[in-house]
Structure 1
Amino acid sequence: MRTDTLEHLRRTMEAQLIRAEHPDDFPYLPPIPASRYTDPGFAKLEHDGLWMRAWLQVGHVSELPAPGSYFLFEQLEKSVIISRGKDGAIRAFHNACRHRGSALLLQHSGKAMRFVCPYHAWGYSLEGELKSVPDQHDFTCLDKAENGLLPVRCEVDRGLIFINFDEAAEPLADFMAPQAPQKEGYPIEKMVVKERLLIEMDCNWKLALHNFLEIYHVATVHAKSIAPYLDSPSFVVALFANGHMRFATRKKKGNTIFEADLYKPDDVADVFSQCTIALPTFPNTFFALDPGGFSLQSFWPAGPDKSIMEVRLMGWDVDSDADREHWQAMNGIVRNILSEDLCLFRSIQQSLEQGTIPQLRFGYQERALYWFEEEVDRRIGADAIPESQRVAQVLSGQMQR
C-alpha cells in the first residue's frame, strides 16, 4: 500500500475514532426498494446487464498447477472450462462440444491433456482447437479450424483468475485499476487455495453480500468470534470507481483468526499486520488481507431468493503436517463464523418477500452497501430499470480519486 494511502488511512481512522455526530458533508441515503431482492424481473436485468458483462473472479492460479490442470466454473447457469495450456497460459472455454453440445468435462476439477467429448469422442486441444473427429468422412465440408471450442475472455490479476462473457468489455487491468494500489505489499499471486467451501443460502445474493460490506453487525452477531479481534470504532471506508472499495479496521489484539505461528512471507507490508484491510471487489467478491491468510468469498445468484457463497481459504505455499492441520481447523472456524450470519439471512428475505419491510434503510456506517447498489444500477443502466426500483445516485462526491 502506498505511503500517501497509509497517511490518509491514519488520518481517517483518527477522525472516525472521535466522531460523535453524522458527518456534515455526507448526503442523505434514500431507502432502497425491497423488490430489488425479490423480483424475478430485476434478477433478469442483473443477469443481462451485470453478470453477462462484468469481470467475474472465478479462481486462483494455484488451482491450475500444471499444463492440463482444469476446473469448471458452474454458476449463472453456465459451465466454463478454466484450464492451463501446454504453454502455461490460462484459458477459458464454454464446456460444450461443437458437435451436439454435450459437456466435455463432467468432473469439477482434474487434469486432461486433451478435451474429449464423452458422447461421440470429438477431441480438442488445450488451446481449444478441434483435433479429431471419429468418422470424419461422414461430415461433409467440416472445417476443423472453424469448429474449435468457443472461448470466454479470461485474464489474470495478481494471481486471481477472471472471466467475462462480454467480448466488448474493458480490459481487466482497467477495471481493477482503482483498487490495485490497495493490494501493494501483499503477494496474492504467491498464495494457494487450501480449502474450498460451497454454501447454499436462502436469500438474494445481494442481501448476503451486504452482510460483508459493513461492521455495524459484528458486535452483536460475532460478539465472541470476530469482535474481540477488531477495534470496530476505527472502521473506515474508501469508495472507488467501478464499484470497488477498501475497508480498514485496527486490530485489537494485534492479530486475527487467521494469525498462527506458521510461515508468513517477508514481503507482506506491516500495514496488513496492524490493520484488517478488506477489499470488496465489484460485483460479488469480498476478502480481507491478513499476513496469515484470508477467506476469498464470492456470492452467486441461484434465483431471486436463493444464492451460493463460494469460499476459498487462501494460505501460503507450504506443505507440512502443521500447515494442513491448521487449515483443516480453519475450515471449521470459518464455517462456524459464517453460520452466525447465515441463520439470519432467510428471515431477512422473508420480510422483504412478504412486504413486511418495503424498503431498506442504510446509515453512514453502511454507505458501502449503498455504493454497491448504485454501481449495480450504473452497470445495468438506469433507463432499463423501472423507476420504482432505481437507486438514487448520491455518493459520487464521496468517491476517492
Structure 2
Amino acid sequence: MRAAALELLNRTMDEQLKRSEHPSDFPALPPIPAGRYTDPRFEALEREGVWNRSWLLAGIASELAEPGSYRLFQHLDRSIIISRGKDGRIRAFHNACRHRGSPLLLEPKGRAMRFICPYHAWGYDLDGALKSVPSQHDFACLNKADNGLTEVRCDTYQGFIFINFDDDAEPLLDFLGEFVALTEGYPLDRMVVKDHFTIEMSCNWKIAYHNFLEIYHVNTVHPTTLAPHLDSRSFVIALYEGGHMRFGTRKKGGESLFATPPVRPDDIAQVFLENTIALPTFPNTFFSLDPVGFNLQCFWPAGPDRSIMEVRQMGWESDSEADRDYWQGMRKATEHILSEDLCLFENIQQSLRNGAIPSIWAGYQERALYWFEEEIDRRIGAERVPADLRVDPRIASFMAPRSA
C-alpha cells in the first residue's frame, strides 16, 4: 500500500476509535427505494448501464497455464471462452459459432487447440479465425476472413482476468484506479486458486453484496466466528472514484483470522498483517486481503430476486498434502461463515418484494453501501433512472484522493 493510502488508513482509524457521535459534517443519508431490488425496470437499466459497460472479473491467469487452456465465463446470460493462445496471450470470445450460433465448447474448462463446433464442425483457431468449413462450396457468399469468432475485450492485472462488453470502455488500469496503489505490498500475482464454488441465493445480487459493504452486522451475525478476531470499532472506509472502496479493520491478537497455512510469502507488507484490508471493486467483486490468502467473491444477477455468489479461494502455490488439507478446512470454515449471512437474505428480499418496507436505510457505518448505489445511478445515467427508483447523490464530496 502506497504511503499516502497508508497514512489515510491509520489516521482515519485513530479518529474512528475516538468517535462517539455522528460526524457533524457528514449528511444524513436518505432511504434507498426498495424497487431497486425488485423492479424489472431497474434490472434492465443495470444490464445496459452496468453489466454491459464495466470491467468484470472473469478468471485467473494461473488456471490457463498452457496454450489452449480455457475456462468458460457463464454469467449474465452469456457464455464466453477465456483462452490462452499459442502466443501466450489470453483472449475472450463469445462461445457461439458464426454459422448458426451453436456453442463451440460445452465443458466449463479444459484444453482445446482448435474450437470445433459440435453441430456442423466449423473450426476456429486460438486467435478466433475461421479456418475450416465443411462443404464450403455450398456457402457461395461466405468469406472466412470476415467470420471469425466475435472477440470480447479482455485484459489482465496481476494475474486477474477481466472482460468488458463495451469496445469503447476505458482501459482496465484506469477503471481499477486506486486498487493498484492499495494492493502494493501484497503479491497478488503469485496467488493461485485453491477452490472455486458457487452459491445460489434467493435475493437480488445487490442485497447480497450489501452484506459485505459494512461491518455493522458482524457482532450480531458472527459472534463466535468473526467478531472475536476483529476490532469492529476500528472499521474505516475510504470511498474512491468509480464506485471502488477500501475498508480497514484492526485484528485482535494476531496476523490472521485463520491458522497459518503451510506456505506463506514472507514479503507481505506489515499493513496486511495488522489489519484486514478489504477492497470492494465496482461493480460486483470483493477482495479481503489476508496473509493466508483470501476469498475472492463475485456477485452475479440471475433475475430481479435471484443471484449467484461465486467464490474463489486464493492462496499460495503448493502441492503438499498439508496444504490441501489446510484449504479443505478453509472451505468448510468459509461455508460456515457464509451460512450465517445467507439465512437472512431470502427473507430480506421477501420484505422488499411484498411491500412490507418501501425503502431501506444506511447509516454512517454503511455509507459504502450508499456510495455503491450512487455509482450504479451514475453508470446508468441518473436522468434515466425513474424518480421512484433513484438515489439522491449526497457523498461525492467525501471521496478520498488517489495516491500519487
TM-score range, shorter-chain basis?
A: over 0.9
Paired position in structure 2 for 1:185: 185
Mapped contact 2:263–2:317 kept (Cα < 8 A):
no
Cα contact 1:73–1:81 (8 A) shared by 2? yes
Structure 2 vs 1, CA of residues 393 and 109 (structure 1 numbering), >3 Å: closer, same or farther?
A: same
Report the counterpart of residue 394 of structure 2 in structure 1.
394
Q: How does 1:185-204 map to 2 (within 5 A)?
A: 185-204=185-204
CA contact (8 A) 1:259 1:291 kept: no
Q: How does 1:116-135 map to 2 (within 5 A)?
A: 116-135=116-135
Is 1:205 paired with 2:201? no
| Matching residue of 1:306 | 306
Q: Which amino acid aligns with 1:192?
A: V
Alignment match, 1:376? 376
Which residue of structure 2 aligns with residue 288 of structure 1? 288
Partner of 1:148: 148
TM-score (norm 1): 0.99
Post-superposition CA distance 1:230-262 (Å, at most 9, x none): 111000000000000000000112133444142
Question: CA distance change for structure 1 residues 36 and 261 in 2, over 3 Å: closer, same or farther?
Answer: closer
Q: Is the 8 A contact 2:261 2:323 kept in 1?
A: no
Q: Structure 2 matches for 1:51-200, cutoff 5 A?
A: 51-200=51-200
Secondary structure of the residue aligned to 2:394 is coil
Asked if the contact 1:229–1:255 (Cα under 8 Å) also holds between the matched residues in 2, the reply is no
CA distance in 2, matches of 1:140, 1:122: 16
Q: Is the 8 A contact 1:30 1:361 kept in 2?
A: yes
1:39 and 2:39 are equivalent in the alignment: yes
- Local SS of the residue matching 1:13: helix
Shift of 1:400: 0.3
- The separation in 2 between residues aligned to 1:87 and 1:319, in whole angstroms, is 27
Aligned AA (1:299): F
2:281 match: secondary structure:
coil
The match for 1:18 is 18
Aligned to 1:276: 276
CA deviations on 1:57-80 (whole Å, 9 max, x unpaired) are 111111211111100010000000
Q: 1:286-365 alignment to 2 at 5 Å?
A: 286-365=286-365
* Cα distance between partner residues in 2 of 1:367 and 1:285: 17
State how far apart, in whole Å, the 2-side matches of 1:367 and 1:70 are. 39
Alpha-carbon distance in 1 for matches of 2:308, 2:5: 34
User: Superposed, which structure 2 residues align to 1:262-273 within 5 Å?
Assistant: 262-273=262-273
* Pair 1:76–1:261, CA change in 2 (3 A): closer
Question: Normalized against structure 2, the TM-score is what?
Answer: 0.98
Counterpart of 1:391 in 2: which secondary structure?
A: coil
SS at match of 2:280: coil
The letter of the residue matching 2:173 is: A
Query: Secondary structure, in 3 states, of the residue corresponding to 1:346?
Result: helix
CA contact (8 A) 1:234 1:249 kept: yes
Q: How far is 1:7 from its partner?
A: 2.0
Superimposed CA distance per residue, residues 194-245 of structure 1 (whole angstroms, 9 cap, x where no aligned partner): 1001100000000000000000000010111111111110000000000000
Deviation string 1:121-179 (CA, Å, 9 cap, x unpaired) is: 11111110111111212211321110100000001012111100011111111101232
Does the CA contact (< 8 Å) of 2:256 and 2:273 recur in 1? no
- How far apart are residue 290 of structure 1 and its match? 0.7
Matched, 1:230 2:242: no
- Secondary structure of residue in 2 paired with 1:118: coil
Q: In 1, are the aligned partners of 2:256 and 2:291 still within 8 Å (CA)? A: no
Task: Give unmatched runs, 5+ long, in structure 2.
Answer: none
The residue aligned with 1:245 is: 245
**1:287-323 deviations in Å (ceiling 9; x for gaps):** 1101110000000000000000000000011111011
User: Take 2:258 and 2:72, find their aligned partners in 1: how far apart are those partners?
Assistant: 28
For residues 66 and 58 of structure 2, the distance between their equivalents in structure 1, rounded to whole angstroms, comes to: 18
1:385 counterpart residue number: 385
Q: What is the rounded CA distance, in whole Å, between the counterparts of 1:59 and 1:261 in structure 2?
A: 24
- CA displacement, residues 87-145 of structure 1 (integer Å, 9 cap, x when unaligned): 11000000000011100000000111111000111111111011111121221132111
Whole-angstrom CA distance in 2 between matches of 1:310 and 1:5: 29
Quote the sequence identity (%). 64
SS, match of residue 162 in structure 1? strand
In structure 1, stretches of 5+ residues that fail to align are none
**Range moving further from structure 2, 355-364 or 137-146:** 137-146
Counterparts of 1:102 and 1:259, CA distance in 2: 47
Write the distance in 2 (CA, Å) between the matches of 1:178 and 1:191: 20
- Equivalences, count: 401
Aligned-residue CA RMSD (Å): 0.9
Is the 1:179–1:240 Cα contact (8 Å) retained in structure 2?
Answer: no
Which range is displaced more, 135-144 or 231-240? 135-144
1:275-295, Cα deviation, whole Å (9 max, x unpaired): 000000000000110111000
SS of the residue aligned with 1:305? coil
Q: Is this contact kept in 1: 2:52–2:165, CA < 8 A?
A: yes
